[in-house]
Structure 1
Amino acid sequence: MSTAKSPARPPLRVMRYARRVVFGAGVFYLGAVFLCLTPVIQTLVLYATHLHVSEYSKFEHPEHYGLAPGKTVNMALNSSDGTRLGAWFMFSDQFYRNLPHPHLHTHLQSGQSTPPTTHESIQLASKEHISEALRNSPTVLFLHGNSATRAHHLRTVVYSAFTARLGVNVFAIDYRGFGDSSGKPSVEGVGMDARAGFDYLIENGANPANIVIVGHSLGTAITGLLAAELGRANIRVRGVVLMSPFSSVRSLMDQYHLFGFLPLLKPLSKIPFFPRVVTWSVKHNFDTLSLVPDIKSPVLIAHAEDDFDIPHSHSSVLFDAFIESHFQNETIGGYKTIPARSDIVSSTHISGYGTLEQVDLGSRRVALLKTERGGHHIGQVEGVQDTIGRLFDLYSMCR
């Protein structure tokens, strides 16, 4: 007599192992969420001042980072609350070429060997020309992203490109807590630091109409703070450039993906009150989107579609906000009206490169450049550099 065999059951050991894996994954996920909502972790991730290379400590020697002798002046300035900030001023190539070379010029003049020129004398001699350079060439106030310092190689290559391709001076500062700057970063603090950089340029002879404020990544949020503050004071600069921006820290947290592909907070967004908890937890509430109405200068937003750090959708949101902000006071029959996008936005597409959208908002122009490639560090893309030069008419000013 035959008996029916019962279905094979997985070994008890396998089931226990599977439960442990699921439980461990759940604990890991909840732990990651908890860390994301912790102010200390938010500070570490957002500013990442702890991520730097130890050799990046000789800021007094810009030559160690590939910059020409005498072209870059290392200096310190004070923020409005007394915080000491490290900074570099770099001359435009056109201006630098007209300066006596620190050692070659003397050698060729005399035909003889001369004692080595001290680094201190080179720095002092170059510093004397800053005011003249500010009067003769447009200047970029460069506000970098998180981690590392003004001396990071991904930034120095952008400085060199700007001084050469665009013919501008570059003034790069390290916010409080970065590099050789003192203090600890905060939204209010880094905003004051950016203003200190701008004020230094003005106090030394720069015209606001000849200053372009360029921010990258975290620096775009700081650029937004400065541009809005200037807008409220009716100070108009030549241009504002937001490279790889995010609309707000809150929206960035919503879209954050663990390991680049696992959504962290989105699965919990349907839980009642959880979105409010996330909002309450945000310690450094950078919110460029809310500042758009106060930014009155011409604007270029640049983002690469293959940026895996910050989704390029943030740039689209900001661009649309500039358009909406401009038309928000225009009404027909008592109702707010915004023209159809196709009626006011001109678009140029270059196959294999990207798309440039522009809109004329009365006394200024706002543009959105999206490139197909370029990654997070889009400032290294030559086409982006040229768009900055052409949009803000920098080439005609170079001499």
Structure 2
Amino acid sequence: MAGPHPAFAIGIIACVFLALYLTFLVLGSIPFFQRHFLYAHKVHTLWWHKIDRPEYWGFAKNQVTPFSLTTCDGQTLYAWHVMPLPVYLKHERKLAAQNSGFCDDVTATENFKLLRDDPESRFIVYFHGNAGHIAQAIRPASYHALTNTSRYHVLAIDYRGFGRSTGTPTEKGLIIDAVTAVNWAVQTAGVPHSRIVVLGQSLGTAVATATAEYFAKEGTDFAGVVLVAGFSSLPTMLSHYAISGYVPIMAPFRLWPWLLHQVMRVIVDKWESANRLREITQIVKARNGRLRLHLVHAKNDWDIPCHEDDKLFAGAVQGLIGDGETMGDARLATEKLGRTINRGKDSFVTNWIDRDIVIRQELFPYGGHNDLMFFAPMLTAVMKSFEVADESEE
């Protein structure tokens, strides 16, 4: 007996995929499911990773202190304070002799005291991307890259709903979490904002940008804001998003722009980073403040395409133009070209300077979406924020 005709089988498969696609869209219109898709906070390895034992990821004994922070709305955030290895080595015997594991009172640790009592300490508040937990995937490797040979302390947190943190992620909630982390560094650890770099990757770039905006409105300047693999806004990014760079999720809707606009309207957490960067540069310039904004992206990033960085750059520059004025795409491209240093195929650095505001965009050929977090461009951006490196090109 002959089997089904190939065309019939293909039709069945196509119908199944269409049904799954439509189901995904319907569920995605419901805030509860939408946030689960966006944040993927339930996708983690806590079942077999003991995150209270950072030595598993290659850290020295008690180089990392796991502890918790409490937000203003009562959520408990799981956090790591990662000591710079050169500082750790100077005090290794005392640090290693402490009790290991989760710390109920981080302020009683030698690690905290070394941070608090060092007037030259440099501090990085690290905001990770979606999915997983504080020690999942490339995150420990990026902490190593930041602390192995420097004097930089790192504070990494799991947002609400992630890892062992309580609560459910929302845009407003994650901003509260980020502000809580910065306030801990300043108010508890005694590190001034001028010695803090706010660093974000992927989703973390949106969190870092919102954090920088919050403190800019408070009249506060950080040492730097570093955004690695960022996006201009969630609706804009999703409207052109393709899985692994090949499967465009919203391709059918782009045939009808009005319908695509309606679909994008149901996104509840919009993360408008380009608009926030425009607000930040406008505020900082108006009060003659200081800003070191670094945008870093890999050309071969198949998750968030590098042209999203151009939109972030444009948003930041627009804030410097002045009230009621805008810079068209053609003029911006011309002005940008004159401030750009080409470094070979798919590689450039652009510096836009206005008073004490430096907007620096770097495109790097390699690193993809994640590995860039322990490549030289990310580290260079942090170093320039702390003004460790030669800024002659600026």
Q: By how many angstroms is 1:18 displaced?
A: 5.3
Secondary structure in structure 2 of the residue aligned to 1:319: helix
Gap change, CA 1:167 and 1:275, over 3 Å in 2: same
Q: By how many angstroms is 1:389 displaced?
A: 1.0
- TM, length-normalised to structure 2: 0.85
- Percent identical residues: 22
More relative contact order in 1 or in 2 (CA 8 Å, sep 6+)?
A: 1
**Does the 8 Å contact 1:86/1:179 carry over to 2?**
yes
Q: Give the match for residue 71 of structure 2.
A: 79
Q: Give the match for residue 238 of structure 1.
A: 223
Q: Give the match for residue 150 of structure 1.
A: 134
Q: Give the match for residue 7 of structure 1.
A: none
* Distance in 1, Cα, partners of 2:131 & 2:93: 34
Q: Deviations over 1:363-385 (max 9, x none)?
A: 11001111111010111112431
Residue in structure 2 matching 1:43, options 26, 31, 35 = 35
Matched letter for residue 300 of structure 1: H
> Are 2:204 and 1:219 aligned?
yes
Q: Give the match for residue 288 of structure 2.
A: none
* Distance in 1, Cα, partners of 2:207 & 2:17: 37
* Distance in 2, Cα, partners of 1:316 & 1:355: 12
Gap change, CA 1:215 and 1:270, over 3 Å in 2: same
Q: Give the match for residue 393 of structure 1.
A: 387
Gap change, CA 1:100 and 1:281, over 3 Å in 2: same
**Does the 8 Å contact 1:220/1:245 carry over to 2?**
yes
Gap change, CA 1:37 and 1:369, over 3 Å in 2: same
Residue in structure 1 matching 2:354, options 361, 365, 368 = 361
Q: By how many angstroms is 1:14 displaced?
A: 5.3
> Are 2:132 and 1:139 aligned?
no
Q: Give the match for residue 85 of structure 2.
A: 93
Q: Give the match for residue 159 of structure 1.
A: 143
Q: By how many angstroms is 1:259 displaced?
A: 6.0
Q: By how many angstroms is 1:342 displaced?
A: 4.1
Q: Give the match for residue 51 of structure 2.
A: 59
Secondary structure in structure 1 of the residue aligned to 2:148: helix
**Does the 8 Å contact 2:170/2:269 carry over to 1?**
yes
Q: By how many angstroms is 1:197 displaced?
A: 0.4
Residue in structure 2 matching 1:372, options 358, 365, 371 = 365
> Are 2:159 and 1:175 aligned?
yes
* Distance in 2, Cα, partners of 1:66 & 1:225: 32
Matched letter for residue 356 of structure 2: S
The structure with more radius of gyration: 1
Q: Give the match for residue 318 of structure 1.
A: 312
* Distance in 2, Cα, partners of 1:12 & 1:99: 73
- Name whichever of 182-191 and 26-35 sits farther off: 26-35
Q: By how many angstroms is 1:351 displaced?
A: 2.8
Q: Deviations over 1:104-156 (max 9, x none)?
A: 8xxxxxxxxxxx864379973333323124x3221110011111111125111
Secondary structure in structure 2 of the residue aligned to 1:198: helix
**Does the 8 Å contact 2:299/2:346 carry over to 1?**
no
> Are 2:26 and 1:34 aligned?
yes
Residue in structure 1 matching 2:277, options 289, 292, 310 = 292
Secondary structure in structure 2 of the residue aligned to 1:151: coil
* Distance in 1, Cα, partners of 2:149 & 2:25: 44
> Are 2:273 and 1:280 aligned?
no
Residue correspondences, number: 371
Q: Give the match for residue 110 of structure 1.
A: none
- Name whichever of 309-318 and 280-289 sits farther off: 280-289
> Are 2:250 and 1:269 aligned?
no
**Does the 8 Å contact 2:362/2:377 carry over to 1?**
no
Residue in structure 2 matching 1:346, options 339, 353, 356 = 339
**Does the 8 Å contact 2:278/2:317 carry over to 1?**
no
**Does the 8 Å contact 2:197/2:385 carry over to 1?**
no
**Does the 8 Å contact 2:62/2:95 carry over to 1?**
no
Gap change, CA 1:141 and 1:394, over 3 Å in 2: farther
Matched letter for residue 93 of structure 1: L
**Does the 8 Å contact 2:223/2:385 carry over to 1?**
no
Q: By how many angstroms is 1:294 displaced?
A: 2.6
**Does the 8 Å contact 1:166/1:385 carry over to 2?**
no
**Does the 8 Å contact 1:59/1:151 carry over to 2?**
yes
* Distance in 2, Cα, partners of 1:91 & 1:199: 19
Q: By how many angstroms is 1:395 displaced?
A: 5.5
Q: Please list every run of 5 or more consecutive structure 1 residues that lacks an aligned counterpart in the other structure.
A: 1-10, 105-115
- Name whichever of 232-241 and 351-360 sits farther off: 351-360
Gap change, CA 1:65 and 1:51, over 3 Å in 2: same
